[in-house]
Amino acid sequence: MMRHKAFNIFLCLVFLFSIVLIADDDNCSNFLVTKGASKDGSVMITYTCDGEFLPHLEYMPAADHKEDEFIEIKGWRGEVRGRVKQVPHTYAVVGLMNEFQVAIGETTFGGQPECRNPDGLLHYFTMMELTLQRAKTAREAVETMAALVEEYGYASTGESFSIADKNEAWIMEMIGPGKGGKGAYWVALRIPDGYICAHANMSRIGEFPMDDPENCIYSKDIVSFAQKMGFYDPKSGKPFSFRYAFDPPKPESLRTCAARVWSMFRRNAPSLNLSPDFQRGVKGAKPYPLWIKPDEKLSVHDVMQTMRDHYEGTDFDMTKGIDAGPFGCPVRYRGLTWEVDGVKYSWERPISTQQTGFSFVSQSRDWLPDAIGGVYWYGVDDTYTTCYVPLYCCIQDLPHPFTVGDIQKFSWDSAWWVFNFVANFANLKYSYMIEDILKVRDAQEGQFLSLQPVIEETAGELYKKDPELLVQYLTNYSVTQGEMVVKRWIELGEYLITKYNDGYVKDERGRPRGVGYPSEWLQKVLKLKPDQFKLPTWGEEKKDGRLH
């Protein structure tokens, strides 16, 4: 079994990652699905953790602790920034899902810069990990995060959190009190059953009910704080809005953030015909609803596919146009915003991005024992080319390739590097290679989803007879499937570099053939350079092919 690293070391590493991830405000996308909006009654949330870093999947076992035990929170130089008092018992956590099927994701929205508190102890990722060790339900998670920042201080900029358990999904937004302030200012809303929600680095909670504690919880003095800071004027006659007070829309965030929410919604509720005007910054356009009802109930596979999006089928399709190159590549390299002749521009920012470190789809189900009901579908690198592996929330070991790797050194032993190799190589001739990748990806995930009822039927029988054997069974299954996927992706990478070597495409007999470039792209090239590539036409061409 995997040895558990000291928690204070892990929190120090997480702190380092958080510095990388908050460098840009367009990292990460989340999608939330309530029980009534899913085909089988699952509660699901997603999280793409986007940034240039190499994640190590972590497992934290349940543990009992002494009364005088503390957790050291360290800074990037290794100095102790503070201590958090440990609780008597902490719950087991796999990635960002605990043994009670509680899962948490986030996106950073930054918000009003004067709200940042450099003296706060807890960054968002540290707070998420501590909460998963202490909360049995989504509501408990909200209350735990609020209590942690109240006691120890909040160090991050504005954050939106997705929180799910086997019955409910919540969205919580939080921002700091400014330098020297105490606690944080936050609001949490329960997503109505039958609805879906999304957020992507832009505050989403506007007006909220202040007299409905069953569905809405918020910090005291939040309105008076906004007034004091000059973020809200009650004399305006407008009701208080969290997002307009703490994260007023900016042109860049509309294009790179609101657009992702629009696309998650338009994919799952095309009947609403949601206008792109707001995400394109059209004056007077209405913001997108916080939650909507999907046209059809969603399966796990539907949710995975929602997180695989380059705006295909819309006017903003990143696989089309000269900016996609000759082979329809949707990758746009940073920086996303740029300037030419004094005019500012921005590439589209899709849900699927090459900068994703890891992502997950959590599945929580109330009709199954927790050990079986919670599945953490985990993948690394770009969501479009990754393969989600089922990791049950009760497991006590992890697939080794997902726990190792150094971003400064390529290694076939690291899942992150293996998936990066395949995805990066595909960019050379994307429209061709992506078809080969999707065949393997869809076959693997399809197999996992098809086997899930069979695996869980056996697990259910073991739960009745021997719960410990159940844990061993699901651990073995999760670990072997994860390791198998990495081996399959190594084979896929070797296949691609062989088939598409030097720009050729090998046929079924292994013979290389030149395929040239699409005619549409060639026409665009000729418009830019109409004469450079033209062959001479003087003389008369004879039957021997020579000019005379």
Q: How many helices (H) and strands (E) does the chain have?
A: 13, 23
Question: Hey, CA dihedral for 127, 129, 135, 140, is it positive or negative?
Answer: positive
* Alpha-carbon separation of residue 326 from 86, 200, 397, 410, 493 (angstroms): 56, 30, 44, 29, 22
Find out whether 72 and 80 touch, Cβ atoms under 8 Å.
yes
Question: Hey, CA dihedral for 290, 293, 295, 299, is it positive or negative?
Answer: positive
What residues of the chain score a pLDDT lower than 70? 1-26, 539-548
Q: Is residue 479 within a helix (H) or strand (E), and if so which, with residue range? A: helix 467-499
Find out whether 269 and 10 touch, Cβ atoms under 8 Å.
no
- Which pTM was predicted? 0.94
pLDDT value at residue 199: 98
pLDDT value at residue 442: 98
The 10s digit of each residue's pLDDT in 10-43 is 444 443 444 444 345 568 999 999 999 999 999 9
Residue 502 phi, psi (nearest 5): 60, 25
Q: Is the peptide bond before 328 cis (omega within 30 degrees of 0)?
A: no
pLDDT value at residue 15: 39
Tell me the C-alpha distance between 205 and 518, whole Å.
45
Q: Which residues contact 465 (CB under 8 A, 6 or more apart)?
A: none
| Residue 391: Cβ-neighbour burial (10 angstroms; 0-12, 13-18, 19+) | buried
pLDDT value at residue 164: 98
Tell me the C-alpha distance between 466 and 300, whole Å.
29
Tokens representing 521 are: 């792209």
Task: Give 256's DSSP letter.
Answer: I
Percent helix, strand and coil across the chain, each rounded to 5? 35, 20, 45
